[in-house]
């Protein structure tokens, strides 16, 4: 597949390094909120082995507060412009807002990482002044950009927020609240793959090049603790359901914290375990905070698995 002009080939697992230029992201909120510190961190991640940099201007942690398109653009635009000046590395933008995506692509970003899987219109997002936004798939196709399409639950956002927040504190396990039922373990494959198939169709219908599409099963988004473990357990089945690359994003997430009983700053080993799962299941990308540790781990693990 291609991100920008760079080709990524099957048989390897590449690293997408996370850069949150936000004050409130769950792991690194506030650390890289200005362009200078952000640029320095990009440089560090490239040195440590990052293959793609994923820039986020709005936190989507459980219980996040949505910011305006204008504010999100103001956060990411200086970082995109300066990164383009200093580095030759594909830039991904973590956004679900078509207006933000369009401005990012206009500035030279290469990939849109959409947590709502091109289905944001179902959430009825509109611009601050009430104008109807173009759909995300059309924006991506217009610029011949790449995209990462993530699985997420198509439920009312307030339900999503509550269910995810409760899951991340361990209050929801097999079942939801208010009668919501968790997905039976083995059925998670059909549930995730079915939703991703719809998103993939939307991408093709809009004219997005197949060679510019990545899928993400959405660990930590709209799922219970047990459903997240189910995605990891049956990850290979989910990967095998598609003939496009898969990304796994589990870095420091609550499924690791709940399993190990550890806070967000103590989840490196748990993250590496999920990275091992990504490599053995054939995921082309992992999205991580700690680039150096994951890059070294993947290099060693791929050497062991090599023919």
pLDDT at 299 over 70: yes
pTM: 0.86
> Residue 218: pLDDT band by 50, 70, 90 thresholds?
very high
Question: In this prediction, what percent of the chain has a pLDDT beyond 90?
Answer: 73
CB atoms within 10 A of CB 163: 23
Bridge partners of residue 214, in order along the sequence: 148
More confident residue, 126 or 57: 57
- Tell me what pLDDT residue 12 has: 96
- Tell me what pLDDT residue 121 has: 54
> Residue 153: pLDDT band by 50, 70, 90 thresholds?
confident
- Tell me what pLDDT residue 33 has: 67
pLDDT at 4 over 80: yes
- Report the candidate in 234, 275, 270 with the shortest Cα–Cα distance to residue 253: 270
**Checking DSSP bridges between strand 6-7 and strand 14-20, what pairing results, if any?**
unpaired
Residue 6's alpha-carbon distances to 51, 212, 229, in angstroms, are 10, 11, 33
More confident residue, 66 or 284: 284
Whole-angstrom distance, CA of residue 276 vs CA of residue 271: 9
Mean pLDDT value across residues 181-204: 85
Whole-angstrom distance, CA of residue 272 vs CA of residue 295: 10
248, two tokens = 């796994």
DSSP 51-93: SEEEEESS--STT-----HHHHHHHHHHHHHHHHHH--S-EEE
For residue 43, what is the domain's CATH number? 3.20.20.20
Give residue 79's domain range. Answer: 2-305
Contact 248, 219 (CB under 8 A): yes
Average pLDDT over the chain, rounded to an integer: 86
The owner of tokens 């053995």 is 280
In terms of C-beta density within 10 A (0-12 exposed, 13-18 middle, 19 or more buried), how is residue 131 classed?
exposed
> Residue 164: pLDDT band by 50, 70, 90 thresholds?
very low
The owner of tokens 């504190």 is 169
207, two tokens = 């004219």
Active site members: 253, 287
Q: Kindly report which listed range (77-81, 175-179, 200-204, 293-297) carries the lowest average pLDDT score.
A: 175-179
Residue 215's SS3 state is: strand
Q: Kindly report which listed range (24-33, 53-62, 118-127) carries the lowest average pLDDT score.
A: 24-33
> Residue 232: pLDDT band by 50, 70, 90 thresholds?
very high
Mean pLDDT value across residues 148-159: 70
Q: How many domains does the chain have?
A: 1
Contact 149, 203 (CB under 8 A): yes
């Amino acid at each position: 597949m291609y991100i920008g002009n760079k080709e990524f080939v099957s048989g390897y697992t590449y690293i997408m390094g996370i850069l949150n230029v936000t004050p409130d992201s769950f792991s690194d909120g506030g650390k890289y909120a200005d362009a200078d510190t952000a640029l320095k961190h990009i440089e560090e991640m490239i040195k440590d082995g990052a293959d793609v940099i994923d820039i986020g201007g709005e936190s989507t942690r459980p219980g996040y507060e949505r910011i305006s398109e204008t504010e999100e653009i103001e956060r990411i635009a200086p970082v995109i412009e300066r990164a383009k000046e200093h580095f030759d590395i594909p830039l991904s933008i973590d956004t679900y807002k078509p207006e933000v995506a369009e401005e990012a692509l206009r500035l030279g970003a290469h990939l849109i990482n959409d947590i709502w899987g091109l289905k944001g219109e179902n959430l009825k997002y509109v611009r601050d002044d009430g104008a109807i936004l173009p759909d995300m798939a059309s924006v991506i196709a217009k610029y011949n950009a790449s995209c990462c399409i993530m699985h997420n639950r198509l439920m009312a956002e307030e339900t999503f927020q509550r269910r995810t927040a409760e899951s991340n504190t361990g209050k929801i396990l097999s079942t939801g609240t208010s009668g919501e039922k968790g997905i039976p373990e083995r059925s998670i494959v059909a549930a995730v793959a079915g939703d991703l198939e719809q998103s993939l169709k939307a991408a093709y219908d809009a004219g997005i090049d197949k060679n510019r599409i990545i899928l993400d099963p959405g660990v930590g988004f709209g799922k219970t603790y047990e459903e997240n473990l189910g995605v990891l357990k049956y990850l290979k089945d989910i990967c095998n359901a598609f003939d496009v690359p898969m990304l796994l994003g589990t870095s420091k997430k609550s499924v690791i914290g709940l399993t190990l009983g550890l806070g967000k700053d103590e989840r490196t080993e748990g993250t590496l375990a999920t990275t091992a799962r990504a490599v053995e299941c054939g995921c082309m990308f992992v999205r991580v905070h700690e680039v150096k540790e994951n890059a070294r781990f993947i290099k060693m693990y791929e050497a062991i698995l090599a023919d």
